[in-house]
Amino acid sequence: MTLTILTSVFLVCLLGAMTPGPSLAVVMKHTMNGGRSHGLITAWSHASGLAMYALFTVLGLSLIIKQFPLAFNLLMYLGALYFAWLGFKSLCSKGKSIDDTNAKKHLSVKEGIRDGFLIVFLNPKIALWFIALFSQFVSPDASFITKALLVIIPFLVDGLWYSTIAMLLSKPTVLNKLNKNAVWLDRFMGCILLLLTLKVIFTS
């Protein structure tokens, strides 16, 4: 796997994690109601759910490449179109803000593990996301290391980002900055996704 591909996967995963949404709201809720340790547990439970999707996607695409190469090419172009649609949608976004007015109540560690995992695992858009992303980088001769990195990178990026949120959430400025810059995060994400779409068009 080249440095360019590594950087592309890293950036897309990081921007996806940074964009305010329901995952951030869940980590916030458990951090604010259960403390930093609960927030960290929720963050890594969330990352584990994401890694499972990444693993299933990599294994599935590898099987399709070997047995149905034409189907994989079609999937690759459909993934590029999906990224193009998401890119334009992000460029036109007005930004999503996160409300921190959750009801204050004690939340258990088990609830943190459950909520962090299920907020990802029960979201079918995550599967589409990984199919679209990995179909651009998984090749017929992809090595075990390449496939492993495509699972490890999203896991670490997601876990470390939400861990950072959990550790810094005691400072209200963190949430304020995320909400204030939500529009620009969305637009930057849109540019990255459109560049990935162009890569498919001009290198396939």
The 10s digit of each residue's pLDDT in 176-203 is 666 677 677 677 767 877 876 776 677 6
Q: Kindly indicate the confidence band of residue 159, based on its pLDDT and cuts at 50, 70 and 90.
A: very high
Give me 64's structure tokens.
């399709």
DSSP secondary-structure letter at 2?
A: -
The 10s digit of each residue's pLDDT in 7-46 is 888 988 888 888 777 788 788 878 877 778 888 999 999 9
Note whether 38 and 45 are within 8 A (CB): no
DSSP secondary-structure letter at 119?
A: H
Report the candidate in 81, 192, 93 with the shortest Cα–Cα distance to residue 131.
81
State the pLDDT at residue 96. Answer: 56
Residues in the chain: 204
How far separated are the first and last CA of the chain, in Å rounded? Answer: 17
State the pLDDT at residue 2. Answer: 72
The 10s digit of each residue's pLDDT in 49-76 is 999 989 988 888 777 766 777 776 776 7
- Higher pLDDT pick, 181 / 111: 111
40: burial class by Cβ within 10 Å (0-12, 13-18, 19+)?
Answer: buried
pTM, 2 dp: 0.70
Report the candidate in 6, 27, 29 with the shortest Cα–Cα distance to residue 17.
27
| Separation of alpha carbons 102 and 79, rounded Å | 36
| Separation of alpha carbons 164 and 64, rounded Å | 37
SS3 label, residue 201: helix
How many Cα neighbours within 13 Å face the side chain of 149?
16
- Higher pLDDT pick, 105 / 164: 164
Cα-flanking dihedrals φ and ψ of residue 151, to 5°? Answer: -95, -40
| Separation of alpha carbons 59 and 57, rounded Å | 6
**The residue to which tokens 């290391």 are assigned:** 145
State the pLDDT at residue 1. Answer: 61
Q: Kindly indicate the confidence band of residue 101, based on its pLDDT and cuts at 50, 70 and 90.
A: very low
| Separation of alpha carbons 109 and 28, rounded Å | 14
